[in-house]
Amino acid sequence: MENAWFPEAERCSGAEGLRVLEALGERIWPDEEVKLFVVKEGDPNAFAMPGRRIVVFSGLIDRARSPEMLAGVIAHEMGHVEYRHPMRGLVHQLGLGAVLTLVFGDSSLAGVGQLALVLSYSRDMEREADRRGIELLQHAGIRADGMSRFFEIIKKDVQNSVLSDLPEFLSTHPDLDARIAATRQPETGAPAMSDADWQLVRKICDSK
């Protein structure tokens, strides 16, 4: 079923980094099993899919300045998973028949870039995912300031024309300034991972 979503060739396979990422996911949401994938894509993007899967683009890892920023984005996507936003978004964009085809195989989508494009959420869904992501980080005892700090980096990139478009998970209203303000948190809590583990995550796609 996993190959119906995106080709295995697109996935990054650094085993040590993937183990660190999976451990981070388990810390953020210990009561649920969510599968994390990393793919070689330059955009600083991530998205959740039906089936409790989260895809992280290598460009997001490259752009994040700390593991807490990555943890913030992952927690946000876990919020989407909990509220079943991926399935609702896909049905809205593609129709139920196309989603069933996508889930059970014979997908017409060429890769994760196209899949990210068809996923879109309402402003209320984005607020829910932001809020739940912060709650998950706080409950895990992990520093929760990384989400807003990553939003700030993306805002500067857009202002400086480094990015022509916002990543999908930031492109829906409420506007970026409002999301930064709503997710701003104190610099308290445990780090998302050690410096050594962060370096393993940053090398997760080196084999590609």
Rounded Cα distance between 98 and 101, Å, is 5
Q: Could you confirm whether 16 is annotated as catalytic?
A: no
Residue 3 CA to chain centroid, in angstroms?
19
Cα 49 versus chain centre, distance: 10
Q: Which two tokens stand for residue 201?
A: 């995550």
Q: Residue 8 carries which side chain, given as an amino acid letter?
A: E
d(CA 100, CA 90): 10
Taking each helix axis as running N to C, give the angle between helix 123-140 and helix 176-183, from 0 to 180 degrees, rounded to the nearest 10. Answer: 30
Handedness of CA 22, 26, 29, 33 (dihedral sign): positive
The SS3 assignment for 146 reads helix
Angle at 23 between CA 20 and CA 25, to 5 degrees: 115
| Residue in 77, 126, 128, 168 annotated catalytic | 77
Catalytic residues: 77
